[in-house]
C-alpha cells in the first residue's frame, strides 16, 4: 500500500482527465503489480469522479480546436504517450497508417496532462511540416502555425502564453483539465479518422 500511495496522485489525475477507461487504469495497476485492494480504490475514485463531475468548458474548447485543425489537415493528439519523443513516435504512426499528408501537428503527452491537473497549465507541442514524401506545407512557418493555434484556442476563451520563440511550447494557463469518461476514442485514431474523412 505504501508504494501505491506514491502513484495514487497520478492515477487520480488520469481519472480526472476522463481520457482513460476504468479498464485502461486497472491494466496500468496490473503492470505495476498492485493487488485487488488498490484496484478497489481506483474503481471507487473512478466512479465518484464520473458521478460528481462534468467535463469542463476548457477541455471542450481544447477538443473543439483539436478537431477543427484535424479537419484542416493537422495532426492533433491528446495524451500521446508519456514524453515528447512519444509524440513524435505517434506522429510517425499516423503517417504510416494513412496516405494523408498533414501540414503539421499540435499535441500534449501524459506528463503534460499530469502537470495540467496539478498546476492548471497545459503545455502544447506544435510544429509545421515541409513538403516531403509523407508530409506537406501549407505555406505557414512554425511561428505562423503557432500563432494560428494560439488564436484558435483564445477564440474558445482559453488563455495562452507564448514568447514567440518557435523552439518554445504553448502554455494554456488557468486550464481546468476535468473531463468525464465518454467511451469515445481520444487516442491518435481520433485525429487520424477526421483527417481521412476530410480527404474523401
Provide CB contacts within 8 A for 83, sequence distance 6+.
Answer: 109, 111
Position 33 pLDDT exceeds 90: no
Residue-level length of the chain: 200
- Whole-model pTM? 0.94
Cell of 196: 481521412
Domain segments of the chain as ranges? 2-52, 57-199
Cβ-contact 112, 131 below 8 angstroms: no
pLDDT at residue 200, as a whole number? 61
- 146 has a pLDDT exceeding 70: yes
DSSP sequence for 1-46: -HHHHHHHHHHHHHHHHT-S-HHHHHHHHHHTT--HHHHHHHHHHH
Beta strands across the sheet bearing 74-77: 74-77, 104-107, 121-128, 170-173, 159-161
pLDDT, tens digit (0-9, with 9 covering 90-100), for 71-84: 999 999 999 999 99
Q: What is the pLDDT of residues 187-198, one digit of tens each?
A: 999 999 999 998
Say what the pLDDT of residue 2 is. Answer: 53
Amino acid at each position: 500500500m505504501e508504494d501505491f500511495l506514491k502513484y495514487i496522485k497520478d492515477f487520480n489525475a488520469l481519472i480526472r482527465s476522463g481520457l482513460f477507461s476504468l479498464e485502461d487504469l486497472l491494466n496500468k495497476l496490473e503492470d505495476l503489480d498492485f493487488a485487488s485492494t488498490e484496484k478497489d480504490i481506483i474503481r471507487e475514485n473512478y466512479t465518484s469522479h464520473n458521478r460528481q463531475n462534468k467535463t469542463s468548458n476548457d477541455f471542450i474548447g481544447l477538443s473543439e480546436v483539436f478537431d477543427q485543425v484535424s479537419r484542416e489537415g493537422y495532426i492533433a493528439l491528446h495524451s500521446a504517450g508519456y514524453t515528447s519523443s512519444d509524440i513524435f513516435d505517434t506522429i510517425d504512426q499516423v503517417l504510416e497508417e494513412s496516405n494523408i499528408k498533414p501540414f503539421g501537428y499540435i499535441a500534449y503527452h501524459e506528463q503534460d496532462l499530469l502537470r495540467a491537473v496539478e498546476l492548471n497549465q497545459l503545455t502544447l507541442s506544435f510544429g509545421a511540416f515541409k513538403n516531403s514524401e509523407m508530409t506537406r506545407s501549407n505555406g505557414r512557418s512554425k511561428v505562423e502555425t503557432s500563432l494560428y493555434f494560439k488564436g484558435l484556442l483564445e477564440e474558445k476563451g482559453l488563455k495562452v502564453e507564448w514568447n514567440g520563440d518557435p523552439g518554445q511550447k504553448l502554455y494554456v494557463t488557468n486550464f481546468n483539465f476535468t473531463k468525464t469518461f465518454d467511451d469515445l476514442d481520444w487516442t491518435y485514431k481520433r485525429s487520424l479518422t477526421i483527417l481521412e474523412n476530410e480527404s474523401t
